[in-house]
């Protein structure tokens, strides 16, 4: 099990080293900025009603997490 984990971690480091820059490049173009603005509007800018189900809440929180992750990767690349 540890050997498999080592392989996965090594592969991840080699293939995703400095991935933050790729996020910045992807979302820094005019089209990328438009897509990011849209993603923010449908996730971070969306609110659920008090009678929403747990499933709806968890689904939206998953979407929000992913958009926040993208924003954080872009922020790291700019630092």
Tell me the pLDDT tens digit for each residue of 30-77.
999 999 999 999 999 999 999 999 999 999 999 999 999 999 999 999
The C-alpha atoms of residue 13 and residue 32 are separated, in whole angstroms, by 25
Read off the pLDDT band of 10 (50, 70, 90): low
Whether the per-residue pLDDT at 11 is higher than 80: the answer is no
Whole-model pTM? 0.78
Q: Pull the structure tokens for residue 2.
A: 């540890």
DSSP assignment of 11-77 equals: HHHHHHTTHHHHHHHHHHSHHHHHHHHHHHHHTTT----TT--HHHHHHHHHHHHHHHHHHHHHHHH
Domain span at residue 55 reads: 2-78
Number of domains in the chain: 1
């Amino acid at each position: 099990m540890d050997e498999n984990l080592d392989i996965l971690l090594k592969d991840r480091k080699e293939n995703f080293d400095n991935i933050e820059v790729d996020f910045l490049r992807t979302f820094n173009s005019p089209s990328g900025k438009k897509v990011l603005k849209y993603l923010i509007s449908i996730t971070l800018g969306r609110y659920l009603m008090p009678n929403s189900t747990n499933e709806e809440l968890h689904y939206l929180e998953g979407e929000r997490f992913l958009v926040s992750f993208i924003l954080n990767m872009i922020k790291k690349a700019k630092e």
